[in-house]
């Protein structure tokens, strides 16, 4: 194990490194720094996120440039504004003992004239995103014709984001005899092409295996029905009370949706995607860094700049289209020497992708079960106990102690503890004790439908295409009038003048009760249990109405669950409510939210997760 001094770094840098508290060089630093210091050569370095690449190119670049000159000598291209700022800040820290050093960040979404002014002041190093850089070159705001060192940081990401043309264009304005240092976590074909087309005999260094993800991260997958994805996500969060995670979705829309649902369900969550303004994104990232947000739901593109070190879990809400992307996602956790978990929620149709990922990352996934309600209750209870145990006493309470003691004069310690814990625990318990098992068995392909169809009810409804419905519209309509969750109505099959749909059996009473005398556009809408269970293709088979006599008697659900359907049986106002709820396209979502698995809340209406958030914020 070498020291920074042995790598050949000068006193100014060593001094700064000491201030930063870096003790030993990381692998990529130990390999790259001496090479770059000694040789004037091109370099391709493959290393995972979090391995210290910034210093691997930053230290040699700082040592090699001339700070007495005001000419731009180093150009670093990086994929996002966040990374750009992060690298700039790091370089400033590394170079804090360099008098006259000027490192300038250039990125979109901020004033181009301000940036041009900073460059004019004599930036020896420019750190830029390709888009803005190209812009400034075309406006003659920068001069990179004399640079000696160019760095392509996170090259695979930049190419993923479609910056190939921009990079080519930018490099065409740089001298031929500069050195180019390319850093990348993975080596897809496009990166190899850059190395071939723009570099001269680059030295190649690899830290760990090529394309292998970090050892600090364990990989798990959870097999559930596609419609249970969101419930599964919530259970994973509830089973990890101190979770600090990034949740990846495939589209901006899903990202926004999942974040909104989590917030509505009482979690401290936020969304990060490209449809947000830069200002909104900055705010979300700030809250995430401060840990006010425990669950950051993000798209792959937006998450590229996330440089937070202590992320405990990465959750793949959906798998990425490109397998390479998985490496980047999981690389967000297990950074800076910490361990992390990368979880994947998959449905049966995607499970084979897990095998392909295993081949690429050369690591095995562990198949795990979504925790049961009772497991979650135990975890929450013990987490609460630990929190109480570690809580510092607030002596403001002292003056009320006499009155409180008087109230509990007869209670012994056990009783007191039980009561105290019940305040929080009962809600979790009531909520979770009746929830179903979300796991799907791995065995035969057909079993998903068979095993679940026993718990499903298929209905016939006398509206169809002629009434202007397609399956999405009908699904939305049913969800809305029945106050069911997003995935509670499924297998919707619309025919010309009638349709079919499914719900879980537990919702059957609610569905039938609602449609007993429901009129829409002056016409009775009739819903019956269909004998055609589960099959989505079959025609109308003379649906037979279930015996309605059992419905009321069986309603032994706790009050909170009964609420939404209970309102329906208040026949006085029923039709009005229905009609208004149907015509209201954007009513209060909370009102319509599914009661089947929403998060337990405190009696004051605040989400339970409020508590850890608050106490942490004070730290
Ligand atoms: P990468 O670019 O490979 O993703 P970074 O350069 O962003 O990694 O470094 C990740 C984190 O590790 C940063 O917080 C950085 O300050 C820290 N770091 C880098 N090198 C060292 C080192 N030798 N010792 C301790 N911490 C380091
Ligand atoms: Mg980096």
pLDDT tens figures, 119-134: 999 999 999 999 999 9
Kindly tell me the burial class for residue 490, based on how many C-beta atoms sit within 10 Å of its own C-beta (0-12, 13-18, 19 or more): middle
Q: Cβ(457) to ligand 1 under 6 A?
A: no
Per the domain annotation, does 356 fall within a domain?
yes
Per the domain annotation, does 544 fall within a domain?
yes
Q: pTM for the whole thing?
A: 0.47
Structure token digits, residue 188: 């897809």
Residue 305: per-residue pLDDT: 64
Picking from 59, 355, 362, 42, the residue whose alpha carbon sits closest to that of residue 186 is 362
Ligand nearest to the backbone CA of 335? 1
Q: Determine the Cα–Cα distance for residues 256 and 258; give it in Å rounded to an integer.
A: 6
Q: 200 and 228, same structural domain?
A: no
Per the domain annotation, does 613 fall within a domain?
no
Q: Determine the Cα–Cα distance for residues 435 and 373; give it in Å rounded to an integer.
A: 6
Query: What ranges in 226-364 are assigned the alpha helix state H?
Result: 229-238, 252-264, 278-289, 300-303, 323-330, 351-361
Q: Determine the Cα–Cα distance for residues 500 and 512; give it in Å rounded to an integer.
A: 14
pLDDT, tens digit, 9 for 90 and up, residues 59-84: 999 999 999 999 999 999 999 888 89
Instruction: With a cut of 70, say whether residue 460 has pLDDT above it.
Output: yes
Share of the chain above pLDDT 70, in %: 81
Query: What ranges in 21-103 are assigned the alpha helix state H?
Result: 27-38, 53-64, 81-94
Helix (H) or strand (E) holding 106: strand 103-106
pLDDT, tens digit, 9 for 90 and up, residues 321-342: 887 789 888 888 887 667 789 9
Query: CB within 8 A of 485, min separation 6: which ones?
Result: 230, 479, 593, 594, 596, 597
Per the domain annotation, does 441 fall within a domain?
no
Q: 460 and 388, same structural domain?
A: no
Using pLDDT thresholds of 50, 70 and 90, give the confidence band for residue 559: very low
Q: 334 and 224, same structural domain?
A: yes
Mean pLDDT of all residues in 586-593: 33
Residue 442: per-residue pLDDT: 67
Q: Cβ(55) to ligand 1 under 6 A?
A: yes
Determine the atom of ligand 1 nearest the C-alpha atom of 58.
6
Instruction: With a cut of 80, say whether residue 582 has pLDDT above it.
Output: no
Mean pLDDT of all residues in 232-238: 93
Per the domain annotation, does 530 fall within a domain?
yes
Per the domain annotation, does 95 fall within a domain?
yes
Q: Determine the Cα–Cα distance for residues 63 and 69; give it in Å rounded to an integer.
A: 14
Q: 428 and 306, same structural domain?
A: no
Question: Which of 52, 311, 330 is the best mutation target for the ligand 1 pocket, counting ligand atoms within 8 Å of the beta carbon and taking the most?
Answer: 52
Q: 383 and 470, same structural domain?
A: no
Contact assessment for residue 497 and residue 607, using Cβ atoms and an 8 Å cutoff: no
Q: Determine the Cα–Cα distance for residues 296 and 306; give it in Å rounded to an integer.
A: 10
Q: Look over the chain and give the mean of its residue pLDDT values, rounded to a whole number.
A: 80
Per the domain annotation, does 616 fall within a domain?
no
Among all chains, which residue has been given the structure tokens 């160019």? Answer: 150
Helix (H) or strand (E) holding 195: helix 189-198
Q: 353 and 389, same structural domain?
A: no
In this structure, of 58-62, 183-187, 593-597, the range with the lowest mean pLDDT score is: 593-597
Instruction: With a cut of 60, say whether residue 571 has pLDDT above it.
Output: no
Q: Determine the Cα–Cα distance for residues 108 and 576; give it in Å rounded to an integer.
A: 52
Per the domain annotation, does 618 fall within a domain?
no
Using pLDDT thresholds of 50, 70 and 90, give the confidence band for residue 171: very high
Q: 526 and 396, same structural domain?
A: no
Q: 407 and 502, same structural domain?
A: no
Residue 336: per-residue pLDDT: 64
Determine the atom of ligand 1 nearest the C-alpha atom of 4.
23
For the beta sheet containing 179-184, the strands, ordered from the edge strand earlier in sequence to the opposite edge, are: 103-106, 125-128, 74-77, 149-152, 179-184, 43-46, 203-206
Share of the chain above pLDDT 90, in %: 38
Q: Cβ(612) to ligand 1 under 6 A?
A: no
* Bridge partner residues of 368 (DSSP): 222
Q: 234 and 181, same structural domain?
A: no
- CATH number of the domain that residue 575 is part of: 3.30.70.330
Q: Determine the Cα–Cα distance for residues 501 and 510; give it in Å rounded to an integer.
A: 14
- CATH number of the domain that residue 286 is part of: 3.40.50.300
Domain end position, chosen among 206, 225, 253? 206
Q: 186 and 240, same structural domain?
A: no
Q: Cβ(25) to ligand 1 under 6 A?
A: yes
Structural domain boundaries, residue 232: 217-370
Q: 43 and 129, same structural domain?
A: yes
201 SS3 class: coil
Structure token digits, residue 407: 């109230």
Q: 532 and 484, same structural domain?
A: yes
Instruction: Give how many domains the chain has, as a whole number.
Output: 4
């Amino acid at each position: 194990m070498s020291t920074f001094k042995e790598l050949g770094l000068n006193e100014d840098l060593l001094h700064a490194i000491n201030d930063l508290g870096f003790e030993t060089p990381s692998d990529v630093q130990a390999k790259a720094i001496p090479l770059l210091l000694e040789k004037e050569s091109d370099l391709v370095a493959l290393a995972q996120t979090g391995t210290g690449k910034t210093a691997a190119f930053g230290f040699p670049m700082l040592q090699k440039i001339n700070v007495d000159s005001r000419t731009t000598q180093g150009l670093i291209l990086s994929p996002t504004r966040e990374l750009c700022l992060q690298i700039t800040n790091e370089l400033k820290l590394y170079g804090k003992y360099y008098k006259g050093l000027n490192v300038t960040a250039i990125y979109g979404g901020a004033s181009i004239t301000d940036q041009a002014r900073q460059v004019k002041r004599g930036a020896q190093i420019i750190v830029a995103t390709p888009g803005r850089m190209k812009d400034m070159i075309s406006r003659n705001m920068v001069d990179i014709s004399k640079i000696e060192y160019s760095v392509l940081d996170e090259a695979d990401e930049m190419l993923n984001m479609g910056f190939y043309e921009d990079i080519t264009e930018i490099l065409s304005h740089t001298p031929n005899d500069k050195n180019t240092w390319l850093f990348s976590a993975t080596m897809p074909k496009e990166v190899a092409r850059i190395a071939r087309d723009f570099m001269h005999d680059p030295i190649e260094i690899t830290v760990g295996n090529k394309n292998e993800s970090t050892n600090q991260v364990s990989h798990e997958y959870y097999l559930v029905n596609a419609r249970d994805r969101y419930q599964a996500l919530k259970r994973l969060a509830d089973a990890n009370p101190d979770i600090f995670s990034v949740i990846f979705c495939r589209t901006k829309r899903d990202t926004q949706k999942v974040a909104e649902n989590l917030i509505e369900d009482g979690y401290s969550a936020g969304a990060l995607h490209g449809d947000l303004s830069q200002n909104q994104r900055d705010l979300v990232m700030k809250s995430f860094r401060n840990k006010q947000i425990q669950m950051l739901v993000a798209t792959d593109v937006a998450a590229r700049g996330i440089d937070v070190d202590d992320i405990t879990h990465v959750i793949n809400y959906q798998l990425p289209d490109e397998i390479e992307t998985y490496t980047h996602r999981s690389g967000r956790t297990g950074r800076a020497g910490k361990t992390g978990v990368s979880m994947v929620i998959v449905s049966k149709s995607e499970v084979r992708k897990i095998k392909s990922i295993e081949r690429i990352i050369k690591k095995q996934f562990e198949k795990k079960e979504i925790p049961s309600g009772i497991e979650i209750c135990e975890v929450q209870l013990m987490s609460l106990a630990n929190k109480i145990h570690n809580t510092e006493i607030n002596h403001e309470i002292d003056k009320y102690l006499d009155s409180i003691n008087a109230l509990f004069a007869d209670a012994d310690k056990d009783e007191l503890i039980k009561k105290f814990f019940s305040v929080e625990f009962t809600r979790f318990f009531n909520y979770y004790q009746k929830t179903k098992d979300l796991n799907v068995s791995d065995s035969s392909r057909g079993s998903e439908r068979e095993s679940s169809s026993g718990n499903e009810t298929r209905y016939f409804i006398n509206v169809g295409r002629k009434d202007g419905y397609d399956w999405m519209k009908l699904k939305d309509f049913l969800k809305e009038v029945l106050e069911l969750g997003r995935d509670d109505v499924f297998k919707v099959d619309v025919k010309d003048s009638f349709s079919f749909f499914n719900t879980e059996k537990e919702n059957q009473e609610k569905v039938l009760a609602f449609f007993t005398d429901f009129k829409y556009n002056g016409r009775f809408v009739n819903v019956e249990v269909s004998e055609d269970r589960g099959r989505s293709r079959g025609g109308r088979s003379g649906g037979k109405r279930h015996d309605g006599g059992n419905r009321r008697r069986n309603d032994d659900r706790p009050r909170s669950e009964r609420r939404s359907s209970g309102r329906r049986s208040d026949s006085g106002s029923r039709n009005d409510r229905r009609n208004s709820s149907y015509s209201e396209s954007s009513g209060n979502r909370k009102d319509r939210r599914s009661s089947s698995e929403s998060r337990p809340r405190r009696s004051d209406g605040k989400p339970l997760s409020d508590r850890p958030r608050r106490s942490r914020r004070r730290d």
